[in-house]
Amino acid sequence: MKQINSLEANNKDLELKIEELKKQCSKLQMSVELQNNQREHLDKNIRLSKSKVFELENVIQSMKTERENAYRDLLTANSKLSSVEASYQKSLERTRDLEHEKTRLHDTINSLESEVFASSGKYSQVSQKNALNSFEILFSI
């Protein structure tokens, strides 16, 4: 009986150990499941991060291209601006020349008008004599 009691005590100890081992297995299984869930979550975050990095690289490349195009446009605009400035300076010089020519022509016209006005008195005397002569010739026939 002693042996039976001893065996029963050993069985109870073994059952307690088995229960303890089952609890530890359950805890380990929960820990493994938690680690698997965390790994899945981390994998998902890594995929999202890679996707965002790829998008950012594309945006950066697009911005580089836009910056290069803007720089080319700026260089083109600068060369056009230089050309426009040169054309403007030529036009400005031409305008000044034309203003001087206009002033000179006005002066010439004023001078000629003065001469015509001064000579109109003489002309009127000459034309009156010519009219009388023409009149006399006409009636003498």
CA separation, residue 122 to residues 117, 118, 128, 135, 139 (Å): 9, 8, 10, 20, 26
pLDDT band at 124 (very low <50, low <70, confident <90, very high): low
Q: Is the overall model pTM greater than 0.75, yes or no? A: no
Residue 129 confidence (pLDDT) above 80: no
pLDDT band at 16 (very low <50, low <70, confident <90, very high): very high
pLDDT value for 120: 66
Nearest to 112 by CA among 102, 120, 123: 120
* pLDDT, tens digit, 9 for 90 and up, residues 63-105: 999 999 999 999 999 989 889 999 999 999 999 999 999 899 8
